[in-house]
Structure 1
Amino acid sequence: MKRFAIIVAGGKGNRMKSEIPKQFIEIGGKPILMHAIEQFYKADSNIEIILVLPKEQIQYWQELQTKHGFEVPVLVSEGGTSRFYSVKNGLEKVTSTGVVAIHDGVRPFVATSTIMKGFEVAEKEKTAIPTVNLVDSIRRVDEKVNRALNRADYRLVQTPQVFDIALLKTAYQQSFSDTFTDDASVIEAMGHSVTLFEGNSENFKITTPFDLKVAEMMVGGY
């Protein structure tokens, strides 16, 4: 079955307090985004990778490819006004049947085993969503009261989220809704359930200066 990966990288670096979009900040001598792309290539060099970037960042990406001698084959697609429309644009580049993984470009530590497991589950179940257990206690808070919740009833959701291509394309024909927080929620909005599988705890999303420090420690071997 044909396998694709759409890597979405539309960050601007606001929470990172950086003039450079966060996906282009270097860790271990190369941009975060390159680390993420390489994990898919390491998992299976036959995966067709589609990178979705804001139009104004495409030339900068090309310059970075030359600077770092980055030769992983990637097809670039222009992003949209939000993540929803960026994924939709990326899907237009997927021209065959099979399965497609949607991944955040600022999750550079996704394990190759997580990538492969996602594809394997989606090929059987049509959907595959990586999650990890919560380790902290959690509480629900409203205007007047707060109460403890059972953390065993909840999971932290990661990417890559993997889907049957025809199913995901149908889901993305829906009109945009503020309830679409990820691709799984788009699928669920048309009444289709999703299948969860165990992700890897290192696969966190780099969004803050603290996250960046942790990432630098990880690539440096602590």
Structure 2
Amino acid sequence: MATLPEYAIIVAGGSGTRMQHDTPKQFIEVAGKPVLMHTIERFYKYNPQIRLVVVLPQEQLNAWRSLCQEHSFKLFHMTVPGGATRFASVKNGLDSVYGEALVAVHDGVRPFVETATIKAAFEVAATYGNAVVTVSPKDSIRELKGEGSTAVPRDKYKLVQTPQCFQAGILRKAYEQPEQEYFTDDASVVESIGESITLVEGSYRNIKITTPEDLILAEAFARELG
């Protein structure tokens, strides 16, 4: 069987609000360059032939072009304007995926995803139609109930990360439906058309850079990789 082409849709629609920063979080520098450049490099390291689609808010496209020039960032990628929601942004990114393919959807602010994780996700998606990267919770979990809360068994829960990989036909079909409030990620969109989700083990290093504390960790991880 011929190997399917691989795409990565990197969704980078964030602002700097929770970061208490004027710069959108995907453009904040870690180890001397914007977070988003680190993320793109991880996918290129995994597969230099991967087709990269970077989805950014329309008003950030020029700033991104300037940053690429400033940092002499030459790794080839397409840029696509995002939508009002993550769902709409992924849908816009999907328009740049042609024919049968395997598609990874990844958060632009997860710059430390390991190449082994990306590889495992693509391989599992090729076999089962999808693969969603998760890790086990480290902390105890309580479920809120009415006025109080109850302890729940931690081993029955997983924390969802990205990439989330899919066969293109399945992902397109899922994104043809209207957006729903309970769509929090691609797995929930695909599950809603009757697909069973397959989980792949992720890594605690695959952090999503969202708050100022995350930047401290990011600098430490980048130094180790450097």
Bin of the TM-score, shorter chain as denominator length: over 0.9
Partner of 1:132: 135
How is 1:43-192 mapped onto 2 (pairs within 5 angstroms)? 43-192=46-195
Report deviation, 1:98.
Answer: 1.3
| Structure 2 counterpart of 1:42 | 45
| CA distances 1:7-52 after superposition (whole Å, capped 9, x unpaired) | 0000011000111000000000000000001000000001100000
How many angstroms apart in 1 are the aligned matches of 2:99 and 2:70?
33
How much identity, in percent, do the aligned residues show?
Answer: 50
Distance 1:201 1:20 in 2: 26
1:147-194: CA deviation from partner (whole Å, max 9, x where unpaired)? 111000000110000000011000000100000000000001111111
* Separation in 1, partners of 2:190, 2:162: 15
Secondary structure (helix, strand or coil) at the match of 1:218 reads helix
The residue matched to 2:162 in structure 1 has which SS?
coil
Structure 2 portions without partners, runs of 5+: none
- Name the TM-score, length of structure 2 as normaliser: 0.96
2:207 maps to: 204
Q: Which amino acid in the other structure matches residue 209 of structure 1?
A: P
Which residue in the other structure is 1:14 paired with? 17
My pick for the range that moved more, 22-31 or 190-199, is 190-199
Question: Normalised by the size of structure 1, how large is the TM-score?
Answer: 0.98
Mind listing any 5+ residue stretches in structure 1 that lack a counterpart?
Answer: none
Report the 3-state secondary structure (helix = DSSP H, G, I; strand = E; otherwise coil) of the residue aligned with 1:186.
helix
Distance 1:57 1:96 in 2: 29
- CA deviation after TM superposition for structure 1 residue 130, in Å: 0.6
Q: In the alignment, residue 86 of structure 1 is paired with which amino acid? A: S
For 1:176, the aligned partner's letter is E
Kindly provide the amino acid, as one letter, of the partner of residue 76 in structure 1: T
**Cα deviation, residue 144, structure 1:** 1.5
Matches of 2:27 and 2:83, distance apart in 1: 19
Task: Using the TM superposition, give the Cα deviation of residue 101 of structure 1 relative to its aligned residue in structure 2, in angstroms.
Answer: 0.2
Query: Pick from 26, 31, 34: which aligns with 1:28?
Result: 31
Give the drift of 1:96. 2.0
Moved over 3 A (4+): none
- SS at the partner of 2:10? strand
